[in-house]
Amino acid sequence: MFRIEAAELLLVRLPLKFRFETSFGVQTEKLIPLLVLHGDGVQGLAEGTMEFAPMYREETIAGALHLLREVFLPRVLGHTFANPEAVEAALGTFRGNRMARAMVELAAWDLWARTLGVPLGTLLGGRKREVEVGVSLGIQADEAATAEVVRRHVEQGYRRIKLKIKPGWDVQPVRAAREAFPDIRLTVDANSAYTLADSGRLSALDAFDLTYIEQPLAWDDLVDHAELQRRLKTPLCLDESVASAADARKGLALGAGRVINVKVARVGGHAEARRVHDVAQAFGAPVWCGGMLESGVGRAHNIHLSTLPNFALPGDTSSASRYWETDVVNEPLEAVDGLMPVPTGPGIGVTLNREFIARVAELDEEHRA
């Protein structure tokens, strides 16, 4: 049992250390909402991964903050819960808005784990002490720049290289990376930039021995992905189009993909992420943990989730120092030779860098029952 006594909503803006270009556009900073739940003398932390504008999925930071203040937090503040699944159930009557609801559920998991004094991964059923890490590389200026940025990250030991692609910039960077590094585990991510009419262009990627092509078609589509998968040898990986375990079951049953990217916020929290993991495992489909340029709070949650057994492919939980000069947490989250150690402290195993947050916070408010 644990009680949620109070909550803090924080909003920080962090500059990225590099220009990150995808099919959505260019990103040079990240606006990050943080939630702190207080209870039983401990704190539970969570991070929102929705964007300022609805580019990835339909949720936005402004909408999430409104729902947290006016709807979701009033449902849980002042209440005692048997476990985080009970928190999930308390919010389960609301449709959609999974990323906003996930902030409450994730913070509840962290709060519960800290109350019990055990690492979050242990409560989720994970066994690993370190997890394999890949890296996601944005669109570069040309093929030579692509080969160079791949080289730097291969030398750093990352176990998978993922290239962002878009129409008109797909075969070229993949060819450059594969010719320079014939043996690396290589993938691409289209972020829904293509249509089924582009299947000829996408089939050209079959020549490069990719582990998978991630979410090439529409963010809310499974049917066209199934048709595209029939036309390709390379496995498709579903990301944006899987918002629940039910979506995962339908996608795998349809043959819309053979791999699933699990983003814990996209599916509404750890409980549903674990269900997605279990469904994929039943189909014999591996999963991996996707990233959303998280700060240390979200990164720590991702690392603990990745300790579950069917997270069989390297995730996007690369070193925090790739992204930030200063992180919002005190503990370093750094991979060594492509392996990220799992934080061993209670809960997610990190604590807020309150001094730094006070300097960069654009919002800091407290809520009580």
pLDDT tens column, 125-137:
999 999 999 999 9
Of 344 and 369, which is predicted with more confidence? 344
Decide if 81 contacts 91 (C-beta within 8 A): no
Catalytic site positions: 164, 263
Decide if 278 contacts 248 (C-beta within 8 A): no
pTM assigned to the model: 0.96
Phi, psi for residue 366 in degrees, rounded to 5 = -115, 145
98: CB partners within 8 A, 6+ apart: 59, 243, 244, 265, 266, 267, 268, 269, 272
Alpha helices in the chain (DSSP H): 61-67, 73-76, 84-90, 98-116, 120-124, 143-155, 171-180, 199-203, 223-231, 245-254, 270-283, 296-305, 354-360
**Following CA atoms 264, 47, 295, 353 in sequence, which dihedral angle do they give, to the nearest 10 degrees?**
-140
Picking from 7-21, 39-53, 113-127, 347-361, which range would have the lowest pLDDT averaged per residue?
7-21
Of 27 and 262, which is predicted with more confidence? 262
Mean pLDDT of the chain: 96
Residue 311, both tokens: 């997270």
pLDDT score of 24: 67
How many alpha carbons lie under 13 Å from residue 24 in its C-beta half-sphere? 16
**What is the C-alpha separation between 354 and 356, in angstroms, rounded?**
5
Instruction: Tell whether the model's pLDDT for residue 99 goes beyond 90.
Output: yes
Decide if 37 contacts 107 (C-beta within 8 A): yes
Instruction: Tell whether the model's pLDDT for residue 306 goes beyond 80.
Output: yes
81: CB partners within 8 A, 6+ apart: 1, 2, 3, 4, 87, 90, 108, 112
Neighbours of 1 (CB within 10 A): 10
pLDDT score of 257: 98
Q: What is the mean pLDDT of residues 245-266?
A: 98
**Following CA atoms 6, 41, 49, 64 in sequence, which dihedral angle do they give, to the nearest 10 degrees?**
-10
Instruction: Tell whether the model's pLDDT for residue 7 goes beyond 70.
Output: yes
pLDDT score of 18: 79
